[in-house]
Amino acid sequence: MLTAFDLALFIEQNAVAAEVIHLPVHTPTVEQAARAVNSSPDRIVKSLLFLVSGKPALAIACGIGRVDSRAIAAHFGVAHKQVTLADAEAVLTETGYPVGALPPFGHLRPLPTVIDLRVLLQSEVFAGGGSVDALVRVSPGEIVRLTGAVQLDLQHPSPPGDGGHAQP
């Protein structure tokens, strides 16, 4: 299993403009992560592994919104039912990182990646840092450079009265 130290090594070896921040607390939710780094929740991003017709694909989105798997299906040209959120075992097997600590880059092997347009509105974001008590500070542009991410509108339409804050 890869850790925050492996991510830091990847950052160093690949001259990535990013920093792994080790925290004194776990950050299992967007709100807790935002508090831990004294930031707003819209600057916290999540990396979610989907299986598209059984093959892994990474989606990077703002932590406060839901990812619309229909957008992923449309991008990859498959039926919506062929896109599923990967379980914890698949995340670990495909990326090397556990759920809840998944960074947007530095995985066991490159993954097809999509990034939500809203992430690109931020100058700097915080993402999974390889362990439950670490985050990586990075620019969205650097994420795109490293992953070759395709920019998409990934935000799931909010149900009435939800205010756009539903979690996946």
- Which residue range is the domain that position 105 belongs to? 4-152
pLDDT tens track for 111-146:
999 999 999 999 999 999 999 999 999 999 999 999
Q: Does residue 89 sit within a domain?
A: yes
Mean local confidence (pLDDT), 149-168:
65
The pLDDT-based confidence of 87 (bands split at 50, 70, 90) is: very high
| Lookup result for tokens 């670490």 | 134
Q: Does residue 61 sit within a domain?
A: yes
pLDDT higher than 80, residue 55: yes
Q: Does residue 33 sit within a domain?
A: yes
Q: Does residue 162 sit within a domain?
A: no
Q: Return the CA Rg of the chain.
A: 15
B/e letters for 134-168, b = 16+ CB within 10 Å, e = fewer, are: bbbbbebebbbebbebeebebbbeeeeeeeeeeee
CATH label of the domain that carries residue 114: 3.90.960.10
pLDDT tens track for 2-39:
999 999 999 999 999 999 999 999 988 889 999 999 99
Q: Does residue 163 sit within a domain?
A: no
pLDDT higher than 80, residue 45: yes
Q: Does residue 158 sit within a domain?
A: no
Mean local confidence (pLDDT), 62-71:
92
- Mean pLDDT of the residues in the chain: 92
| pLDDT at site 65 | 85
> What is the tally of structural domains in the chain?
1
pTM of structure: 0.91
Q: Does residue 159 sit within a domain?
A: no
Top-confidence residue, 113 or 158:
113
The pLDDT-based confidence of 164 (bands split at 50, 70, 90) is: very low
| pLDDT at site 162 | 45
| pLDDT at site 158 | 56
Q: Does residue 30 sit within a domain?
A: yes
